Structure 1
């Protein structure tokens, strides 16, 4: 390409700021123009962009039309979507027809499996890929009560989360000794009582599917993965919360890397994705797969694997060799001020 490669991020998290800079300051000296869009006119990721635009509030199909128009107007080469990913993947042929490389899992059937936790757990169980937590899928308060009784009868703690959600949205842990006043005066957290949960869920005849599952007590790992467009695993970096705060450890855990290899061989997810597991005793149990760059990927890049840039490089058709991550790295993160603009004084 004679011009700088144009890469677009749509409505990303704040950490998109880091991923954009990873791509810009790549070790190969490839030149990029970074485009960013968001509903928030002052979103911090805009500070890493060459061009920014405020997105309109649109439903799915209309939003896809906006994306296609944006790509045409700005001659985008590589699109890294986060917002409305399923809608965008449904229209993948339209993006390919105008020459846009989309850094995403473009297999719609597979994306529907891994983005829905109920579908994902059933797939994992049926194919014997990993151990899943004890869980129930519920749609009304009677089913919730049955699920709670079953899990507690086995001596397990209970938590729940919507089967379709992102990050920690909707995640709650039921505390048997919940003290409403103490919780009210404490820092905000995910705890809730059984009685409160039942009261809320009883207020409606049925609700969007919830996964009610055992609370896992061991270390939690996020395995950041990089794969070729055909799903060949090129890197897997296990990253765990090293304490109750912000410390993260990039750790060589052979059984987790083996699981990542087996998941890659079976699902063949391309580019960047994140596999989350948590231990119960000596058993790692799967939580979910995020088919995109994770919120902590910038920390995993300290392993020497430049995940965001390498994904874009792969999408452009360049060869990327199997990576050799460095492990045994303890890291943390701090807030860093980013100047958005100087306001005129009246």
Structure 2
């Protein structure tokens, strides 16, 4: 049996992928801290996790042992479970967090450390300057913008929160009228930045003009066993399984010791050369789209962890997908 703990909303897609690949009768458990029946209700058995971290850990251990669960998959809070890996091992449970040790999370969660590590490993990545105050921000912007457009993002964060592209002469109201464009002038950003004495560390870096590729993959102790890349093309997403971006993402995941369902993001420069952006040691929000290629990543992951034959991979070329919103019934 396998238990998927709280993750992204795509936890629903993970459950469905595992269900289609596992032998009949193999129980799937799922849980979430919120009332998310549209996600967890697809499992054979579902739970609502306690909000308190200490209570949650005890609940997970007790429940897993009571139900004979073999594999526990951390979704969103991998590092929080990784610190307790020995506790799970002593209980005879297989814990999958996204990494094999805390070192993986320490190296990828802080983007400044991640960039430095990637550069030392010879992995092409976007060079970045870490700033912690207004003077450093001004200096970093001067250095980066001398080579072209600059952008900024938090040293620690997810979902692209806090990312802004500096565009000279952009309408001052644009960041309010169209925040999804993520465009602001440097002078307006600096004015807002200096309104508070202290700020978290930020990264100033060149803005790459090419497209972004999001690589969903199955890793086992630092080895990639399956991978599908997603690239946004207008309102659609296309897929790839080879090429420079895929090769870079695979090298990065293996170098940083990823383990489980993880996501690696790259972005091309103006010449189409991919550069590493970040590694997320957890499954992405869009991993469910990859099923359209004939590769069931969640199924491959679940079957291999439980010792069953993995589902066949029948790559379908030329697929494009587009997200739509559907209603999910959560109660009678």
On whether the aligned pair clears a TM of 0.5, the verdict is yes
Counterpart CA distance in 2 for 1:51 and 1:315 is: 19
Alignment of 1:1-346 (within 5 A): 5=1, 7-26=2-21, 28-42=22-36, 44-59=38-53, 63-104=56-97, 105-128=99-122, 130-155=123-148, 157-186=149-178, 188-227=180-219, 229-243=220-234, 245=235, 247-282=236-271, 283-318=273-308, 325-342=315-332
Work out which structure has the larger RCO, using CA pairs closer than 8 Å and 6 or more positions apart in sequence.
2
**Matches of 2:188 and 2:238 in 1, distance apart?**
36
Structure 2 gaps of 5+ residues are: none
> Comparing 212-221 with 310-319, which one deviates more in the overlay?
310-319
* TM-score (normalised: structure 1): 0.85
Is the CA contact 2:262–2:284 (under 8 Å) kept in the aligned structure 1?
Answer: yes
Q: Match of 1:310, SS?
A: helix
Superposed CA deviations along residues 66-120 of structure 1, whole A, max 9, x for unmatched, are 4334434544322111232112001111112212222222221122112221121
Label 1:317 to 1:231 Cα distance change in 2 as closer, same or farther (>3 A): farther
CA contact (8 A) 1:139 1:208 kept: yes
3-state SS in 2 of match to 1:311? helix
- Indicate the SS of the match to 1:180: coil
Q: How many residues align?
A: 330
Gaps of 5+ in 1: none
Distance change in 2, residues 1:64/1:207 (3 Å): farther
Following superposition, the deviation at residue 147 of structure 1 comes to: 1.2
1 CA distance for matches of 2:254 and 2:29?
33
Deviation at 1:210, TM superposition (A): 1.2
Segment drifting more, 78-87 vs 16-25: 78-87
Report if the CA contact (8 A) 1:141-1:198 is conserved: yes
Higher alpha-carbon deviation: 258-267 or 88-97: 258-267
> Residues 310-334 of structure 1: CA distance to partner in whole angstroms, max 9, x if unpaired?
2122222446599674443222221
- Root mean square deviation of aligned Cα: 2.5
Shift of 1:188: 4.6
Instruction: Give the CA deviation at 1:56.
Output: 3.0
Cα offset, 1:336, TM superposition: 1.6
3-state SS in 1 of match to 2:261: strand
Distance (Å, rounded) in 2 between the aligned partners of 1:35 and 1:92: 20
**Distance (whole Å) between structure 2 residues aligned to residue 115 and residue 51 of structure 1:** 32
Greater displacement, 157-166 / 63-72: 63-72
Following TM superposition, by how much is the alpha carbon of 1:171 offset from its aligned partner in structure 2, in angstroms?
1.9
1:178/1:192 contact within 8 Å kept:
yes
> Do the aligned residues in 1 keep the contact of 2:115 with 2:127 (CA within 8 Å)?
no
2:140 and 2:314 map into 1 onto residues whose CA distance is 44
Note closer, same or farther for the CA distance 1:320–1:233 as it changes in structure 2 (3 Å cut).
farther
